[in-house]
Every structure is written in structure tokens, then in C-alpha cells.
């Protein structure tokens, strides 16, 4: 079976990113004090990364050259005899005889050699280091592929399935665009690190996860404050009646006209009249700070929806 990871490694053409990937691999494997020498370019004096293996100092040579022997020998010649370990990273396969030749050259100067050639790096990236694979090769693993598939399906076919969620706030239940809260619920089923690492769309999805969570928390705070204010303003002492006033307030604040709500509404109870609902709305909406907060909530929701629409496009 053709390996996508192998293909991507063979086609890798950014030396600086290859060095960064090698550093991440060393860190992930438990090597210590991993320090890239010139990740942004510049002279590295024959060593791309320094690290330690326990108390033993280590040097990493990282190359995209196909002639790995030539690269290795040039870098090795720049170092005096010493005790330590050398890690060679390359994106070609090193034959057994080549590994023996390179190991002997390293040993002659006091170094033990670890070869991270194409197949060894591929094996690591396809097993224990899938996060590194996603980051540098932009390849989905099973979790990322499932997340990408479900998110894409929701964005492309939002009306294909009914929304069965029980939402915790009245504002969310009344918003016409349900995609933002449905995407948030979808993302909550995955780990944050898996969301961020989805190639191409992970950062946008993670921004939606954190943005929508903040949006919901602010709604909860605002609705609780509104309920308290309604309790002091309305003519009913029944909390369920305050919920009716809250619903009317949200509808009016969202732009619905009093006459339209009255003609199409059937949610009054507890002796509440349309005129009384309008009175409470007008009184509370005079609070400039409260009104600004509520307008801000609608603006945040619009922005969240627009970001998802851009992702869909």
C-alpha cells in the first residue's frame, strides 16, 4: 500500500522546517536539551541541533540532500574527536551497508550513530508521532480525518439533519442561524490538541470552539442579569413569567416589532399583557450599558457565523 507519509517525506523541500521537525521528533522521543542551532537560517558550523541523551551530548545532522554520505562526512569533519551521539536525519532510505559505513566514520571520532532515515521517520510519524506528522506534513490521522469530515458535512449540509440539542440559554434557542452552536457541540467531542492540528482548518475550528464558549458564558451572565432586572420591573412575581418577559425582550431587541410579535405570538401567561411586556422592554432598553452588551452578543454571533461561512466557501 502506497504510504502518503512516505510520499510527503520524499517531497519535503524546506530545510528549515525539516530541522524543526527533527527537533520535535527528538523531543518527543525523550531526548533532552534539544536546541536547534539555526532554525531560521544562517551558519550552523556543521551541527543543526544539539541535544543530550541522558548525560551524553548529542549532535544532529539534518539534510534533504540525496547524497547523505557526502553531507554526513562534511559535517563530521567539522568536529573534533569526542564522545557522544550523532543523530542523522534524512528523507532517503539508508541501506544497511550505508549505515555501517556511516557508523564506522562516526565511531572513528568517538561518536555513536543513530540514523533517522526515510523509513524510520515514516514509522515514527505513522505511529507514536502523529501530531508531528499533522504539523509538518499536513496529513490527517484517523481523528483529524473524522473531525474534518463531520465539520465539512455540517457546513455543507446544515439542514440535512434536525437540531436536537437542548440549549442552555434562551438567546441561543431563538437565533435563526444554528450552525455556530451545532459546530461548537461537534468540536466539544474532540480534544483541543486534535482540533488545532487538523491541517488547513484547525486554527479556525479552535478559534470557533473558544469563541463560542465565551459567547455562551456571556449570554448566561447577561440573561441572569436580565432576569433579575425583570423581576424588579415586571408585575408578576413568578419566575416563569419573567422568562416570558425575557423572551419578548430578546425578540424586540433582535429587531422584531411589537405589532408583529403580538399578531404572531401565543406565549403570554400569568396575566402578562402585550402592553406590559412592551413596557418592561422599553424600561430595560434605556440602560445604555446593558443594551450595548446585548448588541455585542448579537455581533459576536454574527462574526462566528461569518467565519464558518468563510471556511465553508
- In the chain, domain spans: 4-137, 143-312
Give DSSP secondary structure letters for 175-209: -S--HHHHHHHHHTTS-HHHHHTSTTTHHHHHHHH
pLDDT value, residue 276: 96
* CATH 3.40.1350.10 at 4-137, yes or no: yes
- pTM of the predicted model as reported, rounded to 2 decimal places: 0.66
Q: Are 177 and 155 in contact (CB under 8 A)?
A: no
Query: Phi and psi (nearest 5°) for 243?
Result: -60, -35
Where would I find the H helices in the chain? 4-10, 15-28, 68-77, 96-107, 118-126, 130-137, 142-156, 170-174, 179-187, 192-196, 202-233, 239-253, 258-264, 274-285, 288-312
pLDDT value, residue 39: 63
Which of 40, 63, 62 has the alpha carbon at shortest distance from 49? Answer: 62
pLDDT value, residue 41: 57
pLDDT value, residue 162: 85
245: which 3 cell numbers? 418577559
* pLDDT < 50 regions, the chain: none
Whole-angstrom distance, CA of residue 275 vs CA of residue 270:
14
pLDDT value, residue 164: 86
Sheet containing 84-89: give its strands across.
Answer: 32-36, 49-53, 56-62, 84-89, 111-116
Residue 278: count of CB within 10 angstroms of its CB: 16
Strand partners, 24: none
pLDDT value, residue 1: 53
Amino acid at each position: 500500500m502506497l504510504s502518503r507519509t512516505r510520499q510527503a517525506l520524499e517531497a519535503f523541500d524546506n530545510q528549515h522546517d525539516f530541522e524543526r521537525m527533527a527537533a520535535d521528533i527528538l523531543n518527543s522521543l525523550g531526548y533532552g536539551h534539544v536546541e536547534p542551532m539555526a532554525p531560521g537560517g544562517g551558519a550552523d558550523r556543521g551541527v543543526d541541533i544539539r541535544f543530550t541523551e541522558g548525560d551524553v551530548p548529542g549532535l544532529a545532522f539534518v539534510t534533504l540532500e540525496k547524497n547523505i554520505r557526502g553531507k554526513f562526512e562534511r559535517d563530521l569533519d567539522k568536529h573534533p574527536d569526542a564522545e557522544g551521539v550523532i543523530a542523522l536525519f534524512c528523507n532517503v532510505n539508508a541501506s544497511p551497508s550505508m549505515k555501517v559505513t556511516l557508523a564506522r566514520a562516526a565511531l572513528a571520532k568517538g561518536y555513536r550513530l543513530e540514523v533517522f532515515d526515510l523509513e524510520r521517520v515514516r514509522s515514527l510519524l505513522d505511529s507514536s508521532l502523529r501530531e508531528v506528522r499533522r504539523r509538518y506534513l499536513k496529513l490527517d490521522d484517523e481523528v483529524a480525518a473524522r473531525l474534518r469530515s463531520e465539520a465539512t458535512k455540517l457546513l455543507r449540509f446544515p439542514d440535512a439533519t434536525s437540531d436536537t440539542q437542548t440549549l442552555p440559554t434562551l438567546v441561543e434557542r431563538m437565533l435563526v442561524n444554528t450552525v455556530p452552536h451545532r459546530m461548537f457541540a461537534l468540536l466539544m467531542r474532540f480534544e483541543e490538541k486534535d482540533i488545532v492540528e487538523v491541517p488547513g482548518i484547525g486554527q479556525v475550528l479552535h478559534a470557533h470552539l473558544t469563541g463560542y464558549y465565551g459567547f455562551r458564558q456571556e449570554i448566561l451572565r447577561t440573561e441572569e442579569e436580565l432576569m433579575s432586572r425583570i423581576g424588579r420591573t415586571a408585575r408578576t412575581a413568578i419566575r416563569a413569567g419573567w422568562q416570558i418577559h425575557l423572551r419578548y425582550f430578546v425578540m424586540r431587541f433582535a429587531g422584531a416589532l411589537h405589532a408583529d410579535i403580538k399578531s404572531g405570538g401565543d406565549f403570554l401567561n400569568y396575566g402578562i399583557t402585550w402592553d406590559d411586556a412592551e413596557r418592561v422592554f422599553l424600561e430595560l432598553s434605556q440602560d445604555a450599558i446593558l443594551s450595548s452588551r446585548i448588541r455585542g452578543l448579537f455581533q459576536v454571533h454574527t462574526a462566528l457565523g461569518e467565519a464558518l461561512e468563510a471556511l465553508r466557501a
